[in-house]
Amino acid sequence: MASSPDSEPPIPIRAALSRVRRYIPGKPVREVQRELGLTDIVKLASNENPLGPSAKAIVAMREAAEHVHQYPESTAPDLQRALAERLGVPEPYVFIGNGSDEVLRLLCATYINPGDRVVVPGTSFPTYANAANAMDAQVSTIPLKDFGMDLESMAEAVVGGGAGAAAVAPAKLVFLCRPNNPTGTVFDEVSFRRFLDRVGRHVLVVVDEAYHEFDDSGFTALSLLPEFANLVVTRTFSKIYGLGGLRIGFGIARPAVWSALYSVREPFTINYMAQVAALAALQDEAHKEETIALTREGRERIYRLCDELHLTYVPSHGNFVLIDVARPAVPVYDAMLRHGVIVRPGFGLEHHLRVSIGTRSEMDRFEVAFREALQ
């Protein structure tokens, strides 16, 4: 059968892109409405803030709307200054991006040459491997251990070694996720410090802390930044601050790390509305604390439900819980869709569903749909 003229690009794509996998997000509400004819949908699939954005952020956006005909400041200096003050670092340490995804991709675009090695964790955020593969890197994926980062094995993979034909060059960049998505696990300071000492100072160590604010462990990789010039920490306004639709995140590292990224990036990726909303959201501690409290309550509720149903789960430091449903997960997911509740299967885990924490009424809906789907 002849291919359609629209099915092939006019010239071949770069060969490296054949290894880049299209990111499939949580199923959108409108898609479920179209497919199943449902109107009352609860989405617990994308780790979004169920309270929505801060009221202060909404007011700031309304007031800013009349200025959107003007280009924004490309480096978001007001937000950069506020974040630096909040985090206790100099302003040049903060790099604002169009979501933390842009920061991750720009790091690869800036530092990775074809053939360079990049180490990523298995069963984690797929952007790490995609960003590296897009630059024609050699990606080493290290499986999780007990649903968490296997730092010892990842360090071995970073260092490389061997002799003759088996020799493997050291990695140039390594991605870590803490708390890990989709498992919600964390590593401790002692293990991480041991990892940093093992991999040395000539590899860029990127720690994605998108869910940091939900973490009860009390440790952040940011605390080691004064000691390790090769350390980068990324965070986002999409989760705790409820600004996922605006796409704004940031990284923290020594200024030398960011210098070249300003040349690689497009000049106006951080839109004006996102800048003013993020700045306002930072000032709303009450909204942040309410979100954290709701998340803790929701996690405990899922734990109790799983205990009652004799199902195992991974104790989480994120705003989600990974549940082993003890059977193929996709049929359970499909059955829940028909009850108007969207959760998330996949991640290479055949028997697991990831459930984002919702409001109390949304968790009521989840519990009813989950029980019925299991039957």
325 assigned to some structural domain: yes
pLDDT of residue 85: 98
Q: Using pLDDT thresholds of 50, 70 and 90, give the confidence band for residue 27.
A: confident
Q: How many domains does the chain have?
A: 2
Predicted local confidence at residue 165, as pLDDT: 59
pLDDT 10s digits, 276-288? 999 999 999 999 9
For 232-264, give the DSSP string. Answer: EEEEESSSTT--GGG--EEEE--HHHHTTHHHH
Residue 102 belongs to a domain: yes
Q: State the Cα–Cα distance between residues 364 and 366, nearest whole angstrom.
A: 5
Report the pLDDT value the prediction gives residue 166, as an integer from 0 to 100.
66
Buried b (16+ CB within 10 A) or exposed e, 28-38: ebeebeeeeee
The answer to whether residue 203 scores a pLDDT higher than 60 is yes
Q: Could you say which of 243, 264, 284 is where a domain stops?
A: 284
Integer-rounded Cα radius of gyration of the chain: 21
Q: Where does a domain end: 284, 317, 332?
A: 284
Establish if 82 belongs to a structural domain.
Answer: yes
Shared domain for 267 and 340, answered yes or no, is no
Arithmetic mean of pLDDT, 323-339: 96
pLDDT band at 372 (very low <50, low <70, confident <90, very high): very high
pLDDT band at residue 271 under the 50/70/90 scheme: very high
Same domain, 33 and 97: no
Asked whether residue 1 is domain-assigned, the answer is no
Q: What is the pLDDT of residue 250?
A: 98
Same domain (yes/no): 191, 315:
no
One domain, residues 45 and 60: no
Q: What confidence tens digit (pLDDT) does each residue in 42-53 have?
A: 999 999 999 999
* Average pLDDT score over residue span 225-232: 97
CATH number reported for the structural domain that contains residue 36 in this entry: 3.90.1150.10
Residues of the chain above pLDDT 90, percent: 85
Residues 114 and 47 in one domain: no
111 — pLDDT class (breaks 50, 70, 90): very high
The whole-number pLDDT of residue 2 equals 54
Q: What phi and psi, each to the nearest 5 degrees, are found at residue 9?
A: -70, 155
255's CB contacts (< 8 A; 6+ apart) are: 90, 92, 93
What is the pLDDT averaged over residues 182-191? Answer: 98
Tokens for 125, please give them.
Answer: 């955020």
Q: Is 70 exceeded by the pLDDT of residue 343? A: yes
The pTM of the full predicted model, rounded to 2 decimals, is 0.93
What residues make up the domain containing 21?
15-52+286-374
d(CA 173, CA 185): 22
**Mean pLDDT value across residues 299-312:** 98
Which ranges constitute the DSSP H helices of the chain? 29-36, 55-64, 77-87, 99-111, 127-134, 151-159, 189-199, 255-258, 261-264, 272-282, 285-309, 329-337, 360-374
pLDDT(164) > 80: no
Q: What is the mean pLDDT of the chain?
A: 94
Same domain, 161 and 102: yes
Mark whether 164 and 79 lie in a shared domain: yes
229: CATH: 3.40.640.10
In the prediction, which pLDDT does 70 show? Answer: 94
Identify the domain boundary among 284, 316, 334. 284
My answer on whether 299 and 163 are in the same domain is no
Return the pLDDT at 310. Answer: 98
Residue 187 reports pLDDT greater than 80: yes
Q: Residue range 197-201: average pLDDT?
A: 96
**For position 350, what pLDDT does the model report?**
95
Which has more confidence, 296 or 161?
296
